[in-house]
Amino acid sequence: MKNLPDFYTGAPLDPDDLAFRDEFVAELWDELRTQHVVLSAPRRTGKTSVMDHLAAYPKNDFVPISVFVQDIGHPADFILLMLDLFHEKHPKIFRDLFRSGGKFIGSVLGTIKEIDFSGIKVGLREKDPNWQNNWKSYGDEFFSEVRKSEHKILLLVDEFPDMIVNMNKHHPELVRPFLAWFRGHRLSPHPKKDSVRWLICGSVNLSSTLDVLGCLDEINDLHDIALPVLTNEQVKQFVENMLAGRGVEFSEKVPTRVAATLGRPVPLFLQMVTVNLHRSWKRDGQKLTVRDVDAAFDELIVSSGARDKLQHFYSRIEQYYQSPKKEAAYALLANLCLSPDGLTRDALLADFTRILHEHNHPSTSDVRKSLFNQLMRDLENDFYVAEIKANHFDFASGLIKQWWKKYYA
């Protein structure tokens, strides 16, 4: 890490600025020795930053290729994008692999002397009118050539569940064939013996996405790892380092207050509030106090920079939660944001039961309880709520609670 990292308010961190992730990065490399890995965590918590670090400082002789697939909706686009990025990043290795002339990629490469800036993807599409239906052949050839070579390839696929959701929207008939084909390549050869390795990443839980599509069995081989949540100590350390490093004077209560208000910290909001503190010090030139922290949070909630990011927490429920959990989630959170100290599990369950009735969702009390438990688990995993003491829940993030109250109560 550099001495004094920059502030980041949305973009992934420069790998040299990545703090608090050394242990986790080491753990990931260790897991990737023998298996394929899924990394899930909510948006804006630092997944892409970790992946960028792996790509910038590869270990165990892996050649990394990062593929961002959020807007992809067809398996052929996925395979071609992967080839394109591979060729762009590692043209020599790419040429080397397909020199011997395989049926698809190899033969196209043979006909192209210089690949102009439109890239290999466009080249392949021009040469093969049937490229969209040939995605399996392209993929098979790619993996088979890698496996024959001495190279080890690490594919870092970002926002994978979104791609599956898109595929399901535009080409529903291809979802299962794609997942089955992909699974086949992960199982055979055994990952320990395979020179192709996958790290799959998503802001949306992959299991819940595939569960809804009835395809959960297609990923049960993947090893799930959660991105660690920053600890209270790390949050305080961040505020201290970033402010002290810039010559800001602050009361010793400032970092504690930031940690307390953030609750379960979304790293992006930690950065944004620290930026506000820094700005307020530059403006007033006064030693910062807890009052400045409260003002910095108030400012954050109404700032245009934070709005769309906070908004995402609201709209992702609409996008990813199924009825009646969707309606129930909105109602429970609206209620919770008005309760200064949170609510008991029983109070939330009573609320939930009422909402189900209102939406004419007849169900036995067993079904209702199990739906409720699922919903609470999703809300916890997705950073909305936390169990602050036994059977007592509140918003996980004080910031999101404040914001919810302002706009959605």
In the complex, the residues that contact Mg ion under the rule CB under 5 A are: 48
CA distance 67 to 157: 5
Of residues 271-310, those binding ligand ADP (CB under 6 A) = 271
Q: Which does 276 bind (CB under 5 to 8 A by kind): Mg ion, ligand ADP, none?
A: none
Q: At closest approach, how far in Å is the CB of 221 from ligand ADP?
A: 24
Helix 398-408 vs helix 290-302: angle between axes, to the nearest 10 degrees? 50
Please tell me whether residue 236 binds ligand ADP under the rule CB under 6 A. no
CB of 19 or CB of 120, closer to ligand ADP: 19
CB of 174 or CB of 225, closer to Mg ion: 225
Please tell me whether residue 228 binds ligand ADP under the rule CB under 6 A. no
The 3 state secondary structure assigned to 54-121 is HHHCCCCCEEEEEEECCCCCCHHHHHHHHHHHHHHHCHHHHHHHHCCCCCCHHHHHHHCCCCCCCHHH
Of residues 15-74, those binding ligand ADP (CB under 6 A) = 18-21, 41, 43-49
219 closest CA partner among 180, 261, 177, 162: 180
CB of 48 or CB of 134, closer to Mg ion: 48
Q: Which does 324 bind (CB under 5 to 8 A by kind): ligand ADP, Mg ion, none?
A: none
Residue 397 contacts residue 347 (beta carbons within 8 Å): no
Give residue 235's identity as a one-letter amino acid code. V
Q: Which residues pair with 317 in a beta bridge?
A: none
CA distance 271 to 113: 48
Q: Which residues pair with 344 in a beta bridge?
A: 392
Q: At closest approach, how far in Å is the CB of 15 from Mg ion?
A: 14
Of residues 257-276, those binding ligand ADP (CB under 6 A) = 267-268, 271
Which helix (H) or strand (E) is 347 found in, with range? helix 345-358
CB of 10 or CB of 214, closer to ligand ADP: 10
Q: At closest approach, how far in Å is the CB of 13 from ligand ADP?
A: 5
CB of 6 or CB of 358, closer to ligand ADP: 6
**Applying CB under 6 A, which of residues 1, 9, 14, 88 lies at the interface with ligand ADP?**
9
CB of 164 or CB of 230, closer to ligand ADP: 230
Q: How many residues bind ligand ADP (CB under 6 A)?
A: 21
CA distance 183 to 179: 6
CB of 225 or CB of 295, closer to Mg ion: 225
CB of 13 or CB of 115, closer to ligand ADP: 13
Q: At closest approach, how far in Å is the CB of 333 from Mg ion?
A: 24
Q: At closest approach, how far in Å is the CB of 51 from ligand ADP?
A: 8
Q: Is 52 left (phi over 0), alpha (psi -120 to 50) or beta?
A: alpha
Residue 32 token pair? 């990737």
Q: Which does 390 bind (CB under 5 to 8 A by kind): ligand ADP, Mg ion, none?
A: none
b vs e for 160-193, b when ≥16 Cβ sit within 10 Å of the residue's Cβ?
bbbbbbbbbeebeebbeebbebbbebbeeeebee
Residue 370 contacts residue 376 (beta carbons within 8 Å): no
Strand ranges (E), 234-330: none
Report the SS3 class of residue 196: strand
CA 253 vs CA 218, 261, 275, 287: distances in Å: 50, 12, 17, 12
Hey, CA dihedral for 113, 115, 121, 122, is it positive or negative? negative
Q: Which does 46 bind (CB under 5 to 8 A by kind): ligand ADP, Mg ion, none?
A: ligand ADP
Please tell me whether residue 245 binds ligand ADP under the rule CB under 6 A. no
Q: Which does 49 bind (CB under 5 to 8 A by kind): Mg ion, ligand ADP, none?
A: ligand ADP
Please tell me whether residue 219 binds ligand ADP under the rule CB under 6 A. no
Residue 168 token pair? 């399901």
Please tell me whether residue 314 binds ligand ADP under the rule CB under 6 A. no
Q: At closest approach, how far in Å is the CB of 357 from Mg ion?
A: 39
CB of 123 or CB of 255, closer to ligand ADP: 255
User: φ, ψ for residue 6 (rounded to 5)?
Assistant: -75, 165
Q: Which does 144 bind (CB under 5 to 8 A by kind): ligand ADP, Mg ion, none?
A: none
Point out the residue whose Cβ comes nearest to ligand ADP.
Answer: 46
CB of 73 or CB of 267, closer to ligand ADP: 267
Please tell me whether residue 11 binds ligand ADP under the rule CB under 6 A. yes
Residue ranges that bind ligand ADP, judged by CB under 6 A: 8-13, 18-21, 41, 43-49, 267-268, 271
